[in-house]
Amino acid sequence: MRTLRFHASFRRLLAVTLPPAFFAGVLFGSPAPSQAKPPKGDGASAGQVAKMVCAGAGSVTVAATDVKLKCDASHRNCDGEIPLRAKNCSQDFLEVVQLEMYEGDRRSFSIDYRPASVVPPGQVWQEKVPWTTSGDVEAVVYFRPTGQRDRSPDSARAKLQVKNPALDAAKLACDKCGGTWGPFGVGKAPACNCKTRDAGKSCRDGNDCQGFCLFQHYDAEGREYGKCSDSDKLSGCFELIDKGAAKRPVKKPPPRKLATCL
């Protein structure tokens, strides 16, 4: 039976469809043996998955490879999978009893293997972990000789990077337009707010500006007059001149201008 424990940042994974084998015998809610991050030891670096080579005097070598997430247009809803392998470099049968995943010093994912996964000498244990967030990740595999349940498990680890290529490309384009990356609009979705090339230009119609035409006043004929915004996105409530306003007939007396919240 495998026992999974999820931290708050990882609860979205419960909505992800996992392979049937992943949930075989899963039981939620078992307490963690320890919240503290175990002491660092020798581990394989990213990119060594293709060929598992025993490193140093450790009895287990862990390998992981960098991962690229697939995300929607908002760059927030992402899916990915981290493949892990651990080679038994000892002359004994070993059992893998637990896997933990860390983002920085925070443990965000944990699996207990019950019964433990037995790995013969020279053989490789494998697991695939669903993942949704980008950043530096460290995998820690806990193991011990078979039949020694009273013994505290040893650990081996590997580091990797989880990347969001679409988000990285969007941020690079944002830098090129001199923009600011952050949450915008009512929904506070992350996006780029590019600087406009026509900031401060006079406008009488929303189509006159790269961004928005900010209302200033009515002229002597009762037509709207404004200035172009200095960015292509606004956050807050503003008096705006709509697109197509210049083609509409003039109203006298001019109506009170109402704010639009973005």
Checking DSSP bridges between strand 224-228 and strand 202-203, what pairing results, if any?
A: antiparallel
- What 8-state DSSP symbol labels residue 171? H
- Cα–Cα nearest to 224, from 215, 233, 212, 232: 215
In this structure, are residues 109 and 100 in contact, taking their beta carbons and an 8 Å threshold?
Answer: yes
Cα–chain-centroid distance for residue 132? 5
- Cα–Cα nearest to 153, from 110, 98, 111: 98
**pLDDT attached to residue 117:** 93
Q: Where are the beta strands (DSSP E) in 104-231?
A: 106-119, 124-131, 135-145, 154-163, 180-184, 189-193, 202-203, 213-218, 224-228
CATH architecture of 2-167: Sandwich (2.60)
Tell me how far CA of residue 45 lies from CA of 62, 137, 217, in angstroms: 8, 11, 63
Checking DSSP bridges between strand 78-88 and strand 43-44, what pairing results, if any?
A: unpaired
- What does the block give as tokens for 204? 């009488």
pLDDT tens figures, 88-99: 999 999 999 999
- Ranges of CATH 2.60.40.2550 domains, the chain: 2-167
Amino acid at position 52, single letter? M
Extract the residue ranges of the chain whose pLDDT is less than 50.
Answer: 1-3, 6-39, 41-50
pTM: 0.64
What does the alpha-carbon distance between residue 89 and residue 54 come to, in Å, rounded to a whole number?
A: 6
pLDDT tens figures, 70-90: 998 878 789 999 999 999 999
**pLDDT attached to residue 57:** 57
